[in-house]
Structure 1
């Protein structure tokens, strides 16, 4: 079976028509979402993802998600999905709304909720490129996981055009920020350091867990100080004096083996972090 969809208490196939043509998530991208990896029929870190879904929804002014309904949908699609299922997606939009950007008040919204399960494969390493576009760390939706993903679509399309699988973005003040669908860690000076949330990056669940688990295990993994990681640090990676690792819900912890089309050395601490994450993941699927 391919993609399984749940909406309004029922399962649907990928060809079923589920959203109104005036759904605000469709007309203006007024929605939020979460993506979880699936292992042995279980969505990984679902509780943390639902916590972030709520934070994103409230952050853009949507009404609070119905967590019971979300969990019902998750259980339904995972029960119906095939053994190759590796990805779960939860999408919440403002529902039918005006054709313009103005939205109905939360109490007047009829939210659309869709839960999908389908294939998802991870790679042991990542291949990344620099792109000329930036994240706006002062955006109204900075740090929120919204369905307004056009910037990411453009950037990752450029990455794929260059034979990579992810694009690296600076922010408006020249700091290293994140990938289009992942957080970034820089290994140098015996530490693995990730940009702070003030850079405008998403508070990734994998990022969060790696910071927590590394602290417990005594690995030197930390959040950078503001301004510590300039975008030019990537020149150190191509020069061989630093290394990169990407983190995300599907890729988990994935050391970078190629930057801008050139092979780069995978760092030893990055490999330790990858092994630690995989080991802790196996111990608890909802940490």
Structure 2
């Protein structure tokens, strides 16, 4: 199936122009977005995603997105797309602006709001590769989900060329950070650890839910302590991930939580705790669409 598009109050054809050439989201990447899984025709964890959309907009200095407008767009594409949809994406930009980095004067430009829905395959496992670039945890947009995604495109292409599905990045001080579109969990010492937010990683919704649900279920899942997850922990995965040692898992809104079975071309076993967390997450998803 193709992509269903909504903009400015109505559904649009894929060939129809929906944004001006001087939209600041196009010229300089001045925008934010969210992607939700679609389960049984509904957007999963939508309230949390819209809350993060507003946080990202505030972090960029954009006005709060119109939540009623966004929800109307989501409803429209989900009805039009039918049962085969797997994901819905909301993009909000600053709207028309100058060709440079300065925005239009406050109150002059109206935000551009786009809602798209399409397929969203959910693999049971994932392959990853380390890349030679780092996340800047001190960046002005660290932890924000912005449309300035070029560095992720380059990193993911590097990983795909090496047979992986996702890339893993360190930050500038050598700590494990995240993937291009995912959070990472390290199964180590009987615990499932995820880098702390000060590493520069995105505050993923699936990550957030996994921490909450793991705590409720008595699963040893937690945020790491300072210095506890250096990027070199991935060497442990290569050394011991095949025989009961350190393992990996990734989380994202479309993947949910999935174990890593290949790192840099080396096959590794899915960790037992990662598989347990995966089962827990799937069970909790079935309990409610908007946790």
Work out whether 1:270 is the aligned partner of 2:279: no
Q: TM-score, normalised by structure 1?
A: 0.99
- Please report how far the alpha carbon of residue 267 of structure 1 lies from its aligned counterpart in structure 2 after TM superposition: 0.6
Structure-to-structure mapping, 1:151-230, within 5 angstroms: 151-230=151-230
The CA RMSD over aligned residues, in Å, is 0.8
For 2:141 and 2:263, the matched residues in 1 are separated by 28
For 1:13 and 1:2, the matched residues in 2 are separated by 10
Report how many residues are paired. 287
Work out whether 1:147 is the aligned partner of 2:147: yes
The CA deviation string for residues 137-176 of structure 1, in whole angstroms up to 9 with x for no partner, is 0000000000000000000001111111000000000000
- Please report how far the alpha carbon of residue 83 of structure 1 lies from its aligned counterpart in structure 2 after TM superposition: 2.2
- Please report how far the alpha carbon of residue 8 of structure 1 lies from its aligned counterpart in structure 2 after TM superposition: 0.6
The 8 Å contact of residues 2 and 82 in structure 1, kept in 2 or not, is answered as no
The 8 Å contact of residues 3 and 13 in structure 1, kept in 2 or not, is answered as no
**Number of the residue aligned with 2:51:** 51
SS at 2:286's partner residue? helix
Work out whether 1:286 is the aligned partner of 2:282: no
Work out whether 1:253 is the aligned partner of 2:265: no
- Please report how far the alpha carbon of residue 251 of structure 1 lies from its aligned counterpart in structure 2 after TM superposition: 0.7
The CA deviation string for residues 251-271 of structure 1, in whole angstroms up to 9 with x for no partner, is 100100000001011110000
Alignment gaps of 5+ in structure 2: none
For 2:9 and 2:66, the matched residues in 1 are separated by 13
The CA deviation string for residues 196-255 of structure 1, in whole angstroms up to 9 with x for no partner, is 000000000000000000000000000001221000000010111200000000110010
Structure-to-structure mapping, 1:233-244, within 5 angstroms: 233-240=233-240, 241-244=245-248
For 1:167 and 1:106, the matched residues in 2 are separated by 38
Alignment gaps of 5+ in structure 1: none
For 1:284 and 1:16, the matched residues in 2 are separated by 36
**Number of the residue aligned with 2:20:** 20
The 8 Å contact of residues 81 and 117 in structure 1, kept in 2 or not, is answered as yes
The CA deviation string for residues 69-109 of structure 1, in whole angstroms up to 9 with x for no partner, is 00000000000003211010000000000000011244333
For 1:260 and 1:203, the matched residues in 2 are separated by 25
For 1:264 and 1:13, the matched residues in 2 are separated by 44
Over 4 Å off, 4+ runs: none
Structure-to-structure mapping, 1:101-120, within 5 angstroms: 101-120=101-120
